[in-house]
Each structure stands twice: as C-alpha cells, then as structure tokens.
Structure 1
Amino acid sequence: MALAYINLSAKQYFNFMCRTEYERRVFHDTYKEFQKKSKPYSLNQTFHTFGQMCEANGKANTLHQKLHYAVMNTIVSLENKIPVLSDVDGNCILFDLANLRICSSDLLNKAAHVVSITYTSPKLVLHEIVGDLLILSYDEKGKFNKTFMVKMTDDIVINYEKNQELVYS
C-alpha cells in the first residue's frame, strides 16, 4: 500500500564553469539564443542584462521559453534521465518534465550567463520512509514495479499529490 503519490524535482544550474559536454551545450546554446532573441527587449542596446530587460518590458520573460526551445534536442539526449538525481545504487531517476529558466544573463558578459533546468519525475509511489531514505517505485498501471531508494537531500523537492477521497457524513 502506498503512503502517498509524489513527484521529485531537482534543479541543475549551468554557468561558465561547465564540466560535461551536456552542460557546455546547454550553456553555450542558451547564451547564443539569448543574444539573438533578446534584441527586441534591449531597446537599441540600452539594456544589456536580462533583469533590465524584464523591468523595462514584462514580455522579456518569454525569453525563458525561447531559450528552452533552443536546447530541447539536447535535453532529449538525456533519454529522460535526471543527470543530478540518482537512487542509492547510482541509477538515474527518470523525468517527465524539464523546465528551463534564465537566472541571469548579460549581452556584454558571457560569464554572467546562468540558466537552470528543473527536472520533474513522473508520478512515483512512496512506499515507506526509513530515516532519510525514500522507498519508491514508478506508478505504472498494471505492472509490478521494482522499488528503489532515494536519499533525501536539500537539493530535492518533493511534490505531494493529494488523493481525492469520498467522505461520508
């Protein structure tokens, strides 16, 4: 029996200190796209930071989505495996959603470019909590699912899904 149905979310930041090929691709591709797509919001090069563009024109927030589109194929290359979250055996946790956000960027300084991707798992069954370990399985209808354990850390966000229950009065 399940204690609850949850999703796990983990955030990965990308800046000029990239270590892997995946991180480099996300960093460079999003910066290149920021340079192209931010022109309408820079007001003839008066504004050069993402923050300034958003303050002057709220529509600059659409840059989050535009930069996300630029790296969709790179994210697909992960094959739905969260690169920054694994179980205690070292197996990557799967994700259903990946959401890119611009933390900061500057047209004049590539080193100031920082984006994040929040990966969210599919629905998981929480079977038990033992100390700081979550015992989970994927919620796939009609299939027996192998359980796995994830260590709770400050980097993981647990989204609780409340079940609708019929209440008798």
Structure 2
Amino acid sequence: MPDRLITLCYRKIIDATATRSWDQLVWNDSYAEFRLQAQNFNPGQQYRSFGEILHFMPGAERLHFLVSGAVTGYVQQLNERMPDITDNLGRQFLRFKRFQFELINSDLQDKSKHQIAVNFVSEPLRWHDTVGAFLVVSEASAASDADEILTHLVPLQPFLSIYSILTPASDDSANAG
C-alpha cells in the first residue's frame, strides 16, 4: 500500500457551557471583541444578533477575521498542540500548523448565545491503517522503510475528521503523455 499522508481537522466549539479555563477565556474575550467590532457594522444598533448583522450589512463576514485577533494569543499558548485530542494512551501528541476562528452565533444583548469555533488543522501525518474506530498514524517525517515506526492510535470522534489526503503521484502517471 502506498504511503498516504493526511491532515486532520479538529473543530473545537466553545459556548456558554465551557468549563475549562482556556475555553472560558477564549469565549469571554471573543465576545468582548465581537461587541466592539460589531459597532463598525451596526452603527445604529438596529441589529442584535450576529446573524442579522451578517445578513443585512455588507462586509460583515469580516467579523470572523476581526474577532479572531482576540484569540490568537490564547492559541499561541497551546504551543502548537491540538487541544482535547489524545491518542489511546491519553497523550496529547497532535501538532497543528494553522487554525481558523469562526463566529457561529452571538447576540449583542445576550452573552449566553455567543458561540464560536476554532478549527485546528494538523501537521501532515502518515496514515498506516484504520483499526476499528482508530486511525493508526505516525509522524510524516518517520522513515517509511525503517524496521520500526512509532505510531499513535487516534480514536475517531465527533468534530475530528480527515481534512486532506495526499498520495504521492505514481511514476506511471508522471510518464503518461
């Protein structure tokens, strides 16, 4: 079987029910920043929800980017380790190379309706197999012709998916004319 490199995406949704300190900080600061930035798209305070602002005000989709600045420092605190995702031994090993912030819902007058997502995309991994509900992966830099490759069993779970698959082009397709 040819080597298959994959990247994983973990979608971390944070709302008013968040109990972890990091989640609460991200939620609180993103709400404060949303309220601040929404003023630029809602000068007459005629819209209350993020959905209304997005629907009625041109350019309001930029709020995702504008509010993301409030969480960048918190994401840097993770030291490129994907939060919440562990292997079957309980080790947090997945490294992410990029993230994307997203406003899902919010309300200028009701903080409890504020809901965000942070999507983390992993560094490439070598995907060896799938065993039951586990992906068998190793670091992409691990030599594929080595006698022993250290692996991780990653449980398939909600909000974790294979984001991309990269298979090396075969020599036959490169020579096809």
Match of 1:148 in 2: 152
Match of 1:107 in 2: 108
- Comparing 127-136 with 97-106, greater Cα deviation is found at 127-136
Measured in 1, the distance between the counterparts of 2:89 and 2:120 equals 20
- SS of the equivalent of 1:36 reads helix
Residue 79 of structure 1 and its aligned partner are, at CA, apart by 1.1
* 1:17-68, Cα deviation, whole Å (9 max, x unpaired): 1211100110000000001101021141001111111111241111111111
The structure with more strand, counted as a fraction of residues? 1
Task: Indicate how the Cα distance of structure 1 residues 42 and 120 shifts in structure 2: closer, same or farther if over 3 A, else same.
Answer: same
Report the residue type matching 1:161 in the other structure: L
- SS of the equivalent of 1:163 reads coil
Match of 2:67 in 1: 67
- SS of the equivalent of 2:6 reads strand
- Comparing 123-132 with 153-162, greater Cα deviation is found at 153-162
Measured in 1, the distance between the counterparts of 2:136 and 2:21 equals 32
The alignment status of 1:128 with 2:123, answered yes or no, reads: no
Say whether the 8 Å CA contact 1:95–1:119 is kept in structure 2. Answer: yes
Residue 162 of structure 1 and its aligned partner are, at CA, apart by 3.7
Task: Please report the RMSD computed on the Cα atoms of aligned residues, expressed in angstroms.
Answer: 2.0
Count residues in correspondence. Answer: 169
The alignment status of 1:161 with 2:166, answered yes or no, reads: yes
Measured in 2, the distance between the counterparts of 1:162 and 1:44 equals 52
Residue 142 of structure 1 and its aligned partner are, at CA, apart by 6.9
* 1:109-135, Cα deviation, whole Å (9 max, x unpaired): 101100011111101101122222211
Measured in 2, the distance between the counterparts of 1:100 and 1:133 equals 27
Measured in 2, the distance between the counterparts of 1:80 and 1:63 equals 24
Measured in 2, the distance between the counterparts of 1:38 and 1:6 equals 37
Q: What is the TM-score when the length of structure 1 is the normalising length?
A: 0.91
Match of 2:54 in 1: 54
Measured in 2, the distance between the counterparts of 1:154 and 1:161 equals 23
Residue 16 of structure 1 and its aligned partner are, at CA, apart by 1.1
Q: Percent identity?
A: 21
Say whether the 8 Å CA contact 1:2–1:127 is kept in structure 2. Answer: no
Task: Indicate how the Cα distance of structure 1 residues 4 and 142 shifts in structure 2: closer, same or farther if over 3 A, else same.
Answer: closer
Measured in 1, the distance between the counterparts of 2:110 and 2:56 equals 20
Report the residue type matching 2:140 in the other structure: D
Residue 2 of structure 1 and its aligned partner are, at CA, apart by 5.1
Provide structure 2 residue ranges, at least 5 long, that are not aligned to the other structure.
Answer: none
Measured in 2, the distance between the counterparts of 1:37 and 1:91 equals 38
